[in-house]
C-alpha cells in the first residue's frame, strides 16, 4: 500500500526511546504522570512514569482514575494542569532592590530558560498556548520570561482518542486533533490486534527526533486508523459551547441567570487557576525584617479575588455575581474584542475542577439562549 | 538609633502563636537587633514598663479581668496587632458561646464555684481598636515575619484574604474534593498556610478563618454532597474559628 508523506509509524517499544533522545538533545521532559489521584504534569524520564493503562472519568466537580485499555499510553484526557505552569510559573521573583549605604542596587533574578519538552500535551493545550502567545508574547508588551520559556519549549502533542465527558473542543475548533504549532504530533492506535503510534513532525526538531527513532513510513491504512481515533473522539463528545458569543454575553449583563450561578459559586477561583488561557497575575512588594531589601514577586491571581478589582476605595466587583460574570464575559465574549479570538479552548477543566461543578457551557447557553 | 519597643501579651490561649515568634530561629537575632523586646514573658522574665510602640496580642477575652487588662494594654500601645484564632475570632473556647456556661463548668471542674468567667469568649477587636489581625491556629511564621517587617518600615502588610484554593492550585494540587470526595473548607477559608492540609491529601480544617468572600450555603451543600451529615458539617465548622460569624451555619 502507498505510504503517506510526512507520517511515520513507531512501535511502543521504539517510542520508549524518545525519552533518552530528548535527554540527549538537552531537554528535560514534562509529561503526564499520576499523583494524588489525578494525572498531573510532572518531570518524567521514561515510560514507567506514564499513566499506562489508566483512564480518567470526569464530570462536573468530579474526577476519578480508573483502569483503562490495557497497555494504552494515552487513554485519558486532560488533568488539572496545562502548559501554563511551565510557561508562567505560579510564583516568579521579578526584582530585588537592596539598599547599600546611600545607593540602591537593583537586581533582576535570572530568567529560567531550561530547555523543556512538553510531552503528551493535548491539542486544546496547544491551542491555549497560542491564545496565551497573543497576550504574553505577541502583544504590545511581551513578557520576556514567558517568551524565553516559550522559545525553549519543544511540543510533542498527543491527539485525543479518549475524551472526557467534560471536553468540548470540537465546538471551539481546538481539537481533538492538532493541526499546527507542534514539533511532533502523536496519535496512538490501540486495539485487540495492533498497538502503534503515527507520528507527524511539525518542525525541524520534530524531523530530527523521528530520524533518531526506529520508524517506517506510514501507509494509508495506518494513517486512516489514526484519523479514525480522533473522529471517534468527536463522536463521543456531547458537550458544546454556543458559537459566536462575541457581544452576546455582555449584552445579557442583567440576565437573572447570573444571580442563579452566583448562588452556587464559592468564589474559590479554582476555575481560573486550572484554565490554560487565564493569565492574570498580581505583583507583590515586600521588605525584609532588616528593612534593607525589597522584593517584588509575580503570582497567579484570579478575577474571583476582591483584590483583583480593588481600585481606590474598594473592590469594584464586590459580589460573586459580578465576579462570575467578569470571568465568563471576558473568557467567552470580550476576549474577541481584545485578542480577536475566544479565550476558551474547550478543555473542560473549569467544569471538572469547580467543586460545585458549575458548567460554563450550560451557563453560556442559558444566558444567550434567554433560558 | 532608637529601636521600636515590642511587647507580647497573652490572654486566653494556648501559647502556640507566641511560640511561632520563638520558632523564627533564623530571623530571631535580626528581630532582636531591630526591636527592643520590652515585654515577652514566654521568652524572658525581664521586662520594662510601657509605653510600647508595637503590642502583639495573643488570646481571647474570657474573664472580666481580661476585659480590663486589654484596655490597659491598648492604652500603653502604639500599634496593637492580634495574632491567632483566639485573638481574632475567640478561639476554640468560643464553643461556649453557643452553650450554657454553667453546663460546661460543672462538666469540667470538680469545684465550679471557684471559677470566675464570662459566658462568652470574644476576639480582642470586640473590646479595643486593633490595627491588624493575623489569622491562623497557629499563625504562619512567614506571615508573622511579613507583618513585623511591614510594621517596622510602616507599610501595609501583604497578607492575602482570598481562599485557600488559590494557593492549593498554585502548589499544583489536584483538588481533594473533586478527586477523592474529601470534605474541604478551602473555598471558604482565608489562605495563609500554603494549603498545607490539601497538600497532604486532607481537607482544609479552616484554621485561618473565613476568606474575604464566603458563600456558606453553597459550601454546606458541597460538604453534604461529599458525604458529611449535619453533625459532621457542624463539627467541621465549629473548631478554632467557631466564633467567626461567617462560619456560622443556619440550621
Ligand atoms: S474556560 Fe474552562 S473549558 Fe475553556 S479553556 Fe478555560 S478551563 Fe478550559
Ligand atoms: S465557578 Fe466554580 S471554580 Fe469558579 S470560583 Fe465559582 S465555585 Fe470556584
Ligand atoms: S483541595 Fe480544598 S483547598 Fe484545595 S482546591 Fe480543593 S477545595 Fe480548594
DSSP A356: T
B57 and B87 Cβ atoms separated by less than 8 Å: yes
Q: For residue A192, what pLDDT is reported?
A: 87
Neighbours of B113 (CB within 10 A): 8
Q: Distances from the Cα of B132 to the Cαs of A216, B27, B142, B226, in angstroms? A: 68, 21, 16, 35
Nearest one of A229, A202, A252, A237 to A366, comparing CA atoms: A252
| C-alpha A38: how far from chain center | 15
Residue B185 near ligand 3, beta carbon < 6 Å? no
With vertex at residue A147, the alpha carbon angle to CA A142 and CA A148, rounded to the nearest 5 degrees, is 140
Residues of chain A contacting B201 with CB distance shorter than 8 Å? 36
Instruction: Report the residue from B153, B201, B215 with minimal CB separation from A36.
Output: B201
Grid coordinates of B114: 471557684
Q: How far is A301 from chain B (nearest CA, A)?
A: 8
Ligand with minimal distance to A332 CA: 1
Instruction: Confirm or reject: Cβ of A360 under 6 Å from ligand 2.
Output: no
Contacts of B157 (CB under 8 A, 6+ apart): B132, B146, B147, B150, B151
Under 8 Å between Cβ of A261 and A363 = yes
Which residue is listed with cell 494524588?
A36
Closest atom of ligand 1 to CA, residue A331: 1
| A221: number of Cβ within 10 Å | 11
CA angle A72, A74, A77 (to 5 degrees): 135
- Give the residue, by CA position, lying nearest to ligand 2 atom 8: A268
What pLDDT score does A116 carry? 97
Report the interhelical angle of A320-329 vs A257-264 (nearest 10°): 110
Domain boundaries, chain B: 5-153, 164-250
Strand partners, B189: B210
Q: Report whether B81 contacts B109 (CB < 8 A).
A: no
Residues of B contacting chain A (CB within 8 angstroms) = 27, 30-31, 34, 145-146, 148-150, 152-153, 155, 158, 160-163, 165-166, 169-180, 184, 186-188, 201, 212-213, 215, 217-219, 221-222, 225
Q: Which of A88, A289, A293, A327 to mutate to test the interface with B (most CBs of B within 10 A)?
A: A289
Consecutive H or E run containing B133: strand B132-134
| CA atoms of A198 and A196, how far apart (whole Å) | 7
What order do you get walking across the sheet with B132-134 strand by strand? B36-40, B5-10, B52-58, B77-83, B132-134
Give chain B's residues under pLDDT 70.
1, 250-251
Ligand 2 centroid, distance to B211 Cα (angstroms): 14
- Residue numbers in B near A302 (CB within 8 A): 162, 166
Residue by residue, DSSP assigns A50-99 as: S-TTEEEEEETTEEEEEE-STT-SS-S---S--THHHHS-SEEEEEEEEE
End-to-end CA distance of chain B: 57
Angstrom distance (rounded) from CA A358 to CA A352: 8
Cα-to-centroid distance, A323 and ligand 2 (Å): 10
Q: Which CATH architecture has domain B5-153?
A: 3-Layer(aba) Sandwich (3.40)
Query: How many other C-beta atoms can be found within 10 angstroms of the C-beta atom of residue B37?
Result: 19
- Closest by Cβ to B174, choosing from A38, A287, A302: A38
pTM metric for this prediction: 0.96
Residues of chain A with pLDDT under 70: 112, 370-371
C-alpha cell at position A276: 490554560
| Planar angle of CA B153, B35, B32, nearest 5 degrees | 125
> In chain B, which ranges are continuous DSSP H helix?
16-23, 25-34, 64-75, 84-89, 101-108, 141-153, 164-170, 176-180, 196-199, 216-225, 230-237
CA distances from A236 to A219, A270, B221 (A): 26, 26, 31
Amino acid at each position: 500500500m502507498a505510504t503517506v508523506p510526512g507520517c511515520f509509524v513507531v512501535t511502543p517499544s521504539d517510542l520508549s526511546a524518545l525519552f533518552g533522545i530528548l535527554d540527549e538533545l538537552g531537554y528535560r521532559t514534562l509529561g503526564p504522570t499520576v499523583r494524588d489521584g489525578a494525572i498531573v504534569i510532572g518531570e518524567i524520564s521514561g515510560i514507567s512514569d506514564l499513566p499506562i493503562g489508566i483512564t480518567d472519568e470526569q464530570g462536573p466537580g468530579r474526577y476519578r482514575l480508573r483502569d483503562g485499555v490495557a497497555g494504552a499510553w494515552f487513554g485519558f484526557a486532560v488533568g488539572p494542569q496545562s502548559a501554563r505552569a511551565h510557561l508562567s510559573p505560579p510564583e516568579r521573583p521579578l526584582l530585588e532592590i537592596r539598599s547599600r549605604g546611600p545607593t540602591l542596587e537593583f537586581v533582576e533574578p535570572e530568567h529560567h530558560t531550561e530547555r523543556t519538552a512538553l510531552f503528551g500535551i493535548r491539542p486544546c493545550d496547544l491551542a491555549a498556548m497560542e491564545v496565551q502567545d497573543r497576550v504574553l508574547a505577541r502583544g504590545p508588551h511581551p513578557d520576556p520570561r514567558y517568551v524565553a520559556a516559550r522559545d525553549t519549549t519543544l511540543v510533542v502533542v498527543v491527539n485525543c482518542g479518549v475524551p472526557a465527558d467534560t471536553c468540548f473542543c470540537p465546538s471551539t475548533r481546538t481539537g481533538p486533533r492538532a493541526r499546527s504549532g507542534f514539533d511532533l504530533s502523536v496519535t496512538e492506535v490501540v486495539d485487540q490486534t495492533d498497538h502503534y503510534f503515527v507520528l507527524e513532525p511539525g518542525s525541524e526538531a520534530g524531523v530530527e527526533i523521528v530520524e533518531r527513532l526506529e520508524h517506517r513510513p506510514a501507509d494509508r491504512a495506518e494513517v486512516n486508523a489514526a484519523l479514525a481515533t480522533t473522529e471517534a473522539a468527536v463522536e463521543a463528545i456531547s458537550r458544546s459551547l454556543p458559537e459566536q458569543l462575541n457581544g452576546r454575553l455582555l449584552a445579557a449583563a442583567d440576565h437573572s441567570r447570573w444571580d442563579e450561578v452566583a448562588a452556587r459559586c464559592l468564589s474559590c477561583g479554582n476555575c481560573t487557576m486550572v484554565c490554560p488561557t487565564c493569565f492574570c497575575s498580581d505583583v507583590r512588594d515586600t521588605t525584609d525584617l532588616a528593612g534593607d531589601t525589597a522584593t517584588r514577586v509575580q503570582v497567579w491571581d484570579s478575577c474571583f479575588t476582591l483584590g483583583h478589582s480593588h481600585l481606590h476605595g474598594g473592590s469594584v466587583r464586590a459580589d460573586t455575581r459580578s465576579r462570575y460574570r467578569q470571568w465568563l464575559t471576558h473568557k467567552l465574549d470580550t476576549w474577541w474584542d481584545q485578542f480577536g479570538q475566544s479565550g476558551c479552548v474547550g478543555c473542560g477543566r473549569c467544569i471538572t475542577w469547580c467543586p460545585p461543578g458549575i458548567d460554563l457551557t450550560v451557563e453560556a447557553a442559558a444566558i444567550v439562549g434567554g433560558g | 538609633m532608637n529601636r521600636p519597643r515590642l511587647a507580647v501579651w497573652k490572654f486566653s490561649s494556648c501559647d502556640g502563636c507566641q511560640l511561632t515568634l520563638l520558632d523564627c530561629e533564623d530571623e530571631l537575632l535580626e528581630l532582636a537587633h531591630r526591636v527592643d523586646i520590652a515585654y515577652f514573658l514566654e521568652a524572658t522574665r525581664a521586662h520594662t514598663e510601657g509605653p510600647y510602640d508595637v503590642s502583639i496580642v495573643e488570646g481571647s477575652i474570657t474573664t472580666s479581668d481580661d476585659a480590663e487588662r486589654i484596655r490597659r494594654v491598648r492604652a500603653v500601645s502604639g500599634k496593637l496587632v492580634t495574632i491567632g484564632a483566639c485573638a481574632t475570632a475567640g478561639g476554640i473556647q468560643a464553643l461556649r458561646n453557643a452553650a450554657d456556661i454553667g453546663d460546661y463548668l460543672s462538666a469540667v471542674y470538680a469545684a465550679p464555684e471557684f471559677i470566675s468567667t464570662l459566658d462568652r469568649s470574644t476576639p480582642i477587636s470586640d473590646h479595643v481598636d486593633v490595627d491588624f489581625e493575623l489569622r491562623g491556629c497557629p499563625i504562619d511564621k512567614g506571615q508573622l515575619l511579613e507583618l513585623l517587617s511591614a510594621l517596622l518600615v510602616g507599610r501595609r502588610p501583604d497578607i492575602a484574604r482570598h481562599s485557600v484554593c488559590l494557593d492549593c492550585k498554585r502548589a499544583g494540587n489536584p483538588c481533594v474534593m473533586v478527586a477523592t470526595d474529601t470534605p474541604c473548607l478551602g473555598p471558604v477559608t482565608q489562605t495563609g498556610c500554603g494549603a498545607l492540609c490539601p497538600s497532604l491529601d486532607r481537607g482544609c480544617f479552616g484554621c485561618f478563618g473565613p476568606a474575604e468572600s464566603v458563600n456558606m450555603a453553597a459550601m454546606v451543600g458541597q460538604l453534604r454532597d461529599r458525604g458529611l451529615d449535619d453533625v459532621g458539617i457542624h463539627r467541621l465548622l465549629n473548631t478554632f474559628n467557631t466564633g467567626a460569624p461567617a462560619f456560622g451555619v443556619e440550621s
